[in-house]
Amino acid sequence: MAATAADIARVRRMVAEPTSATYTDTIVSDAILRYPVPDSFGVRPVDEDGVANSAWVATYDLHAAAADVWTEKGAAAATGYDFSADGADYKRSQLGTMALRMASYYRSRRYAGSVALKADINSPQAQDWIGNLAEILND
């Protein structure tokens, strides 16, 4: 499945890349496809057995995708250095700093998922970590 043109355009706006000169639609689409999330009906992309869910409406976390692109941009700008010449001050390091700040901004807005944990009281390790298990089993 591919990301929609609207999703690609939105991520492009989020990462200040209006053209495909640096990031092609395929690269942006790949970043988007890395982050599937439950759709508006709560249907997850895969079921509990890890099988693709055919009822899932393709929905992706665009903030996480934008954070990935900003991180890449920050890494590309990491070699920038500050210098002074002819009375002017050039601070190339600001580009990398701001890219990483934007990555942090979008990571803080990514999808907050949850995972249900199930305890298996029959496992050999259960005796070690389930509090008061002996009392529960002896009652």
- Overall average pLDDT of the 120-136 stretch: 60
With CA atoms as reference, report the closest residue to 65 among 118, 14, 116, 24.
14
The whole model's pTM is what?
0.76
- Overall average pLDDT of the 72-97 stretch: 89
- Overall average pLDDT of the 109-117 stretch: 84
State residue 24's pLDDT score: 95
- Overall average pLDDT of the 75-90 stretch: 88
Q: Domain spans of the chain?
A: 5-138
Residue 122 has pLDDT above 90, yes or no: no
In angstroms, how far is the first alpha carbon of the chain from the final one? 53
